[in-house]
Amino acid sequence: MRDYENRDGVMLFGGMKVTDIADEFGTPVYVTDEKRLRENYRNVHNAFSKHMETKVHYACKANTNLTILKILEQEGSCIDAVSLGEVMTCLKAGFAPDRIIYTGNNVSNKELSAVAGLGVMINVDSVSELERLSKLSDGNKALPISFRITPGVGSGHNAKVVTGSTGSKFGIPEKDVIKTYLRAKELGFDPRGIHVHIGSGGRSSEPFMDAMEVLIRFTNELKEKGIELEFIDMGGGIGVPYRPNEPEMDVDELAADLTGMILEETDIKKILLEPGRYIVCDTTVLLTRCVDVKDAGIKKYVGVDAGFNTLIRPAMYDSYHHIALGNKFGKACTAKYDVVGPICESGDCLARDRVLPDPEEGDVVVIYDAGAYGFAMSSNYNSRPLCREVLVNDGKAELIRDSEKIEEQWIHQRIPERLIG
């Protein structure tokens, strides 16, 4: 978790007072620090590339804002996309097709055909998908493909985001890996790599090492069968600290260990990785404003204008996000409060039992580490418009997504003529 500068009792973010950002753009609003975004990408790329050829494929499901994508495109990032919409969004942001890998799950023929037509590498998730891709690709067997396998190793901050365990809905089961690659060759494809993704937000290196052992074993078995791969893709899932004093994962050590295994045990010279959370999580805060303070006897509440429609992670995953009062930054805390939003459900709680300074209506409440799966998972629940997004850099703020208007939620709705009269 990042530390922030205090200027006259106000938190600074990206060189700006959070109160000034909230006053200019309103609340709730997601605010991203461009400098931190560039630093995070460089940190993870440099950690691996000093050992072997490396391609960092940003897992854009974490945050697909066009400006954030454009910044990463400038940094030299590649993309891990999981839907046709993500692929097209990244193309619009300036990524060339050969910098994008598409890893779908339970992909329809319509989407598979459309993605194949865009020329991006397809990371095939099932035998069914392989067979359908062969029929849909119009004989274009030069289409670059890889395979996602299920390594029997899972990791993640919550059971809902563990993806690599045996029996997972994701990937080719271990028992089918070799014959699936051989089938791909029979169909005329030339598989380029092998991929796993064990889960999201794990903060231990052991599962990554265990999954890499599986990848190495299959890579070498495939070579014996006459299939020589170009790369190993370790996927994403590098965790970040959300709580105060939580240690960071040692990415340099992880990189040295994983690349060392590949170089010592295989002939592979290129590693791919797909971090999303690691790159964008701590680049962004969610600013929301206190609109109500309530003492319910056994519980005290700070009511804010952002709910789980704006940030669903606490309600969906029981996730912790650190919270501070941006205009009372560093002031002594006096009591415990639950920070709750305006959604008509008792589960609309952003934080429980947080010790805060005396809250007042109008305070700017800062929710930390909101860049990954924050705006990307927001919704119109309770018919509430999506909020703004802002980029800050060297003390200047720019709007990178305007807020939705209520009436824009009706654009795609149709009332049958027979009901109008």
> Which amino acid would we find at residue 196?
V
CA 36 vs. chain centroid, Å, equals 16
The confidence score (pLDDT) of residue 207 equals 86
∠ CA(247), CA(248), CA(252), 5° rounding?
135
344 tagged catalytic: yes
Largest CA distance in the chain: 76
Residue 293: C-alpha distances to residues 9, 218, 296, 336 (Å) = 21, 58, 10, 12
CATH of domain 33-280: 3.20.20.10
CATH topology of domain 6-32+282-410: Lyase, Ornithine Decarboxylase; Chain A, domain 1 (2.40.37)
The confidence score (pLDDT) of residue 200 equals 72
Cis peptide bond upstream of 191, omega within 30: no
Q: Which residues of 171-198 are buried (b: 16+ CB within 10 A; e: fewer)?
A: bbeeebbbebbeebeeeebebbbbbbbb
Consecutive H or E run containing 10? strand 10-13
CATH 3.20.20.10: which residues of the chain? 33-280
Contact in structure between 299 and 389 (CB atoms under 8 Å): no
The confidence score (pLDDT) of residue 155 equals 59
- On the 0-12 / 13-18 / 19+ scale of CB atoms within 10 A, 169 is exposed
> Which amino acid would we find at residue 410?
W
Closest to 62 measured CA to CA, from 302, 384, 370: 370
Is the pTM value of this prediction over 0.85? yes
- On the 0-12 / 13-18 / 19+ scale of CB atoms within 10 A, 167 is exposed
The confidence score (pLDDT) of residue 205 equals 85
Contact in structure between 356 and 333 (CB atoms under 8 Å): yes
Contact in structure between 72 and 85 (CB atoms under 8 Å): no
- Concatenating the DSSP letter of every residue in 79-136 gives EEE-SHHHHHHHHHTT--GGGEEE--SS--HHHHHHHHHHT-EEEE--HHHHHHHHHH
Give the Cα separation of 292 and 361 in Å (integer). 6
CATH 2.40.37.10: which residues of the chain? 6-32+282-410
Instruction: Say which of 78, 90, 290, 344 is annotated catalytic.
Output: 344
Sites in the chain below the pLDDT cut of 50: none
Give the Cα separation of 88 and 66 in Å (integer). 11
